[in-house]
Amino acid sequence: MSISIEATDQLLTTTRSVRKRLDFSRPVEPEVIEKCIEIAVQAPTGSNQQGWAFVVVTDAEKKKALADLYRKGAEIYITMPQPERADDDLRTQQRPRITASSMYLLEHMHEAPALLIPCIQGRVETLPQFAQASTYGSILPAAWSFMLAARARGLGAAWTTIHLFYEKDAAKILGIPHDYTQAALLPVAYFKGETFKPAKRIPPKQLTYWNGWGETR
């Protein structure tokens, strides 16, 4: 079976961080989440370790506890220095919209029908860079595949990391073993509306070097 380039490109360019358009009132079938995880584990892992774990949280009290950690994390995050950028920088212009959207999620995180924490076996704190890259590189592709598979099924998710300021507390709530690293926290819900547009990004030509740093084609 050949894969349609158009459909593939549309999926890849319109899988957004969905926050305001998450439909908190519509339940998500556990089977759909399980199917997305089944697809996610087709992603590669370093040394074929397959050390993934996907913790799906639907219990209201646990979601609330995680959302509280997320909010506490946000209190730290907003005190951290942000990069200074020119007024006409694309990222400066996108910032108010992303901030508003993030504030909305902050208040509603616990309402998501499911929160997903993708985890990987191993801890990165004391590892050399090769092993750090291999550890995160063995979970982030799978987590992104989950988001893509979810998007194809009408589910939105937002990639978030702010609860990781309190990773140990989250591990305690969910009984995640000490030797597992949490990589993200994805609120998952059916999205409202039909379409997502490709985002404006820094032109890829400005980010692509051929045969040496700074060299163009």
Ligand X SMILES: Cc1cc2nc3c(=O)[nH]c(=O)nc-3n(C[C@H](O)[C@H](O)[C@H](O)COP(=O)(O)O)c2cc1C
Residues in the site for ligand X, rule: CB under 6 A? 16-17, 98, 102, 105, 158-162, 199
Nearer to ligand X, 120 or 217 (CB): 120
Smallest separation, CB 186 to ligand X (Å): 10
CB-based burial of residue 213 (10 Å sphere; 0-12 exposed, 13-18 middle, 19+ buried)?
Answer: exposed
Smallest separation, CB 161 to ligand X (Å): 4
Among 22, 37, 56, 189, CA closest to 113? 189
Tallying the residues shown for the chain, one arrives at 217
Nearer to ligand X, 127 or 199 (CB): 199
Nearer to ligand X, 197 or 217 (CB): 197
Smallest separation, CB 31 to ligand X (Å): 26
Among 145, 217, 134, 135, CA closest to 186? 145
Nearer to ligand X, 62 or 71 (CB): 71
Show the DSSP H helices in 41-193 as ranges.
Answer: 60-77, 90-108, 129-136, 140-152, 167-174
Smallest separation, CB 119 to ligand X (Å): 15
Nearer to ligand X, 65 or 139 (CB): 139
Cβ contact 97:90 at 8 Å: no
Rounded distance between C-alpha atoms, residue 24 and residue 146, angstroms: 19
Residue with tokens 């209201």: 60
Residue with tokens 């993200």: 184
Structure token pair of residue 216: 């163009």
Smallest separation, CB 185 to ligand X (Å): 8
Nearer to ligand X, 103 or 127 (CB): 103
Smallest separation, CB 216 to ligand X (Å): 26
